Amino acid sequence: MVRIVFFGRLSDASENLDTELPSGVENTEALAVWLAEGNERLAEAMARPGIRVIVNDEVRHGPASVADGDEIAFMSPVGGG
């Protein structure tokens, strides 16, 4: 089981999920593709520039491996102030 959480615009497109990783989905890039299948709103939001990915509270640049027990966060562009 992995936990998938969404922040910002992405959080409007999908609820947070606890799910089994489908076979063949071994990194964050494949996971994003799998999540966006059948969710047009999420696909549109994920295709925007500036999405950041965090695995187990660590920012990852580029595809990062995912495994059972991980928490993966997908974040829309950040900005406060």
Residues that bind other proteins (CB under 8 A): 7-9, 11-12, 50, 54, 57, 59, 73, 75-81
The single residue listed with the structure tokens 């089981």 is 1
Q: Whose Cβ is closer to other proteins: residue 24's or residue 81's? A: 81
22 versus 78: smaller Cβ distance to other proteins: 78
C-alpha to C-alpha distance for 52 and 59, rounded to whole angstroms: 7
Nearest Cα to Cα of residue 76 among 18, 13, 6: 6
The least distance separating other proteins from the CB of residue 24, rounded to whole angstroms, comes to: 29
**Complex with other proteins: residue 34 or 70, whichever CB lies closer:** 70
Element (H, E) at 35: helix 28-36
